Amino acid sequence: MARGKINPKDQRKIDKNTLKVLKRLFSYLDPFRLWIFLIIVFGILGTVFEILGPLLMGRATNLVVDGFREGDFLVDKFMQVIYLLIGLYSLASLAEFSRLKIANKVKVSIVYTMREDVSKKLKNLPVAYYDSHPLGDLLSRMTNDIQTVGDSLNQVLNQVFNSIVVVLGIIVIMLRISPILTLITFLVIPATFLSSVTIIKRSQKYYSIQYKDLGDINTHIEEMFASNKLVKAYNYQDHALKDFEEKNEKLRKSAAKSEFLSGVVMPISFFINNLGLVITAIVGAMEILKGKLSIGSFQSFYQYSRKFNRPIQMITEMLSILQSGVAAAERVFEVLDGPEEVQKDLSPVDVSKLRAKVDFDHVVFSYEPGAEPVIKDLSFHVEAGSKIAIVGPTGSGKTTLVNLLMRFYDVDSGSISIDGVNIENIHRSDLRENISMVLQDTWLFQGTVYENIAYGSDHVSREDVIRAAKSAYAHDFISKLSDGYDTVLEENGSNISEGQKQLITIARALLKNPRILILDEATSSIDTRTERLIQKAMDQLVVGRTSFIIAHRLSTIIKADLILVLKDGRIIEKGSHQELLANNGFYKELYSSQF
């Protein structure tokens, strides 16, 4: 098949999908039926006032012509028509203003509703969804695409209903003035629509490609801005710029194709309509010479003919704009249709009484169906209040193990239970309410230190926050900040050090007072002295709590009650520090390599 041609089967699939998306898109108009009714009413009123104008102008023209012929110009009648014209056009403007104001309100409300729907959806999507969808693309769907949908619907509300009313009203008046000229005008419609629809069908595919390319370039920009220091540190600026230029060129080409096809519609419609006007002028002149049509009536008809063609052009233009909206809406609906975290109908479990005894029973897990398992037949038992260390080489499954405990992912087979209750029978929100997790990659938002520590903990006092900060040995450095706990942190805490950011996240975890504590390389960015202080705090904090500690620095887990040594998704050794050293196995090799 030649390049640029669309397979008929693919075209039918596109058409069917377009209708499905349109139906779903217009469902967002249901709550605004009253407003849409008012838009139609004001549109009809404005149209009626406007289309009566040329009729009165024709009458005024006839008064002038008759006055010159008969030598008796009726000034009073002429001025009455003029005053009536001014009044009609004033009312038409008022109706148009009201219609546009309501239509814009509907548009803003729909954009608000769609963004709210996507925001709620994102909250319920599993971690796996975010792992497989670039952040920049999701941001593009939530901002650019939804805005495009709103703009498209706004154009439809503002133009299509009004254009239909204009066409119907003008047809009635044109038929009264001259049926033969009206027939000529009608012949223009099929030619205009046929050419427009043919082009618009081809543009749909390119609009979808354009918005995908836009998502790709947004992802690249977000990555480069977020990693600006790293880009400069590795002298990657030229490569990053080259990558951007390639993606930008790809977007330019797809945008050029879609916009070109969309832009061709208006010139073609304009040419066909103007050709119709030329024919109308020729036939109209002949009718005047035959005495079948007055000059004023022809002037009115010619104005109506131009007004009639404009709505036709606008409707075809709206079809093109709507195609852009459909392509954007399709991407938004893909997010809204994303698979949510599966939650069974569960019997309530009183999580407030959990002792946090944890069991992994023959757990098998892989990130992709059919792929090599990351966790392979893993089993172990943890007593409540125990301090468990998980060690092993990179890629052994350490972080995956705690991700399964948090139910960021569900196991493929086997089970994980807390106090004998399978965690799949506990609501995720209840489960995570009892677990605090501190990751190697710190996350802070733009806000005060106090707000960052209190994040995720409801109804806590300032004293509680300060107490948690002291336990995490963060109070001293916070007190030295310009505004103490009210110091505003920049995005991701860029105005404090990595170690200080990690202390704040540890304080946040401690404030939550969890049953289970997970530390995934939580002290990796902290100096040795501070790390020792935190270890003292941890020794007190783990009392009565079950704690899982992932660490590469084996010195930090010497006092652990149980050390699990993972390799290739399996537990190859387990025991206390002294027991594992005595075994002269893999753990001793790891320990000896560090000391």
When the pLDDT of each residue in the chain is averaged and rounded to a whole number, the result is 79
Averaging pLDDT over each range in 25-29, 189-193, 344-348, which range is the top one? 25-29
Task: Please report which confidence band the pLDDT of residue 120 belongs to, taking 50, 70 and 90 as the band edges.
Answer: confident
Q: 354, 418 in Cβ contact below 8 A?
A: yes
Supply the pLDDT for residue 365.
93
Highest mean pLDDT out of 123-127, 173-177, 365-369: 365-369
Q: What percentage of the chain reaches a pLDDT higher than 70? A: 80
| pLDDT per residue as tens digits for the range 194-214 | 776 676 666 667 777 877 788
* Predicted pLDDT at 398: 87
Alpha-carbon distance 323 to 85, whole Å?
38
Structure confidence by residue, pLDDT tens digits, 294-317? 777 777 777 777 777 666 667 767
* 270: its two tokens: 């304009």
Question: How far apart, in whole angstroms, are the C-alpha atoms of residue 105 and residue 32?
Answer: 10
Whole-angstrom Cα distance, residue 263 to residue 126? Answer: 41
Concatenate the DSSP letters of all residues of 371-422 into one string: SPPSEEEEEEEE-TT-EEEEE-STTSSHHHHHHHHTTSS--SEEEEEETTEE
Q: Which residue has the higher pLDDT, 347 or 339?
A: 339
Q: Six-digit token pair at 595? A: 């000391």
Nearest to 478 by CA among 455, 510, 453: 453
One-letter identity of residue 160: V
Residue 363's pLDDT band (boundaries 50, 70, 90)? Answer: very high
Residue 361: the pLDDT is 93
Which whole number is the average pLDDT over 325-354? 77
pTM: 0.66
Would you give the DSSP letter of residue 115?
A: H
Give residues with Cβ within 8 angstroms of 408, minimum separation 6: 126, 127, 128
Helix, strand, coil percent content, the chain, rounded in steps of 5: 70, 10, 20
| Closest alpha carbon to 520 in 337, 388, 340, 353 | 388
Q: How would you classify residue 202: left for phi > 0, otherwise alpha for psi between -120 and 50, otherwise beta?
A: alpha
Taking only the tens place, the pLDDT of each residue in 495-515 is: 788 778 888 888 888 888 888
Instruction: List the one residue out of 439, 378, 380, 383 whose CA is nearest residue 408.
Output: 439
Among 416, 178, 394, 145, residue whose Cα is nearest residue 285: 178
CB 566 within 8 A of CB 391: yes
Helix pair 295-336, 179-226: axis angle to 10 deg: 30
Q: DSSP states of 419-468 as a string?
A: TTEEGGGS-HHHHHHTEEEE-SS----SEEHHHHHHTT--S--HHHHHHH
Model pLDDT for residues 6-58, shown as the tens digit of each residue: 454 544 554 567 788 888 888 888 888 888 888 888 878 877 777 776 667 76
From CA 399, how far away is CA 390, in angstroms rounded? 9
> Residue 218 in contact with residue 248, Cβ under 8 Å?
no
Place of tokens 């008809």: 301
Q: Is the dihedral of CA 278, 284, 288, 293 positive or negative?
A: negative
394 alpha-carbon distance from chain centroid: 34
Highest mean pLDDT among 4-8, 55-59, 70-74, 245-249: 245-249
pLDDT in tens, 516-572: 888 887 666 566 776 676 666 666 666 678 888 887 777 778 888 899 999 888 999
Side chain identity at residue 436, one-letter code: S
Sheet architecture: strand order including 421-422: 375-382, 358-365, 413-418, 421-422
Question: For 352-362, how does the pLDDT look when each residue is reduced to its tens digit (9 = 90+)?
Answer: 677 888 999 99
Chain-centroid distance of CA 592 in Å reads 50
Q: Which residue has the higher pLDDT, 169 or 247?
A: 247
Of 279-288, 344-353, 463-472, which gets the smallest average pLDDT? 344-353
Amino acid identity, position 238: D
Query: Cα dihedral angle (208, 212, 218, 221), rounded to 10 degrees?
Result: -130
574 neighbors 595 (Cβ within 8 angstroms):
no
Residue 348 has pLDDT above 80, yes or no: no
pLDDT at 362: 93
d(CA 149, CA 106): 12
Q: Specify the amino acid at residue 362.
A: H
Of residues 347 and 460, more confidently modeled: 460
The DSSP secondary structure of 12-41, one letter per residue, reads: HHHHHHHHHHHHHHHGGGGGGHHHHHHHHH
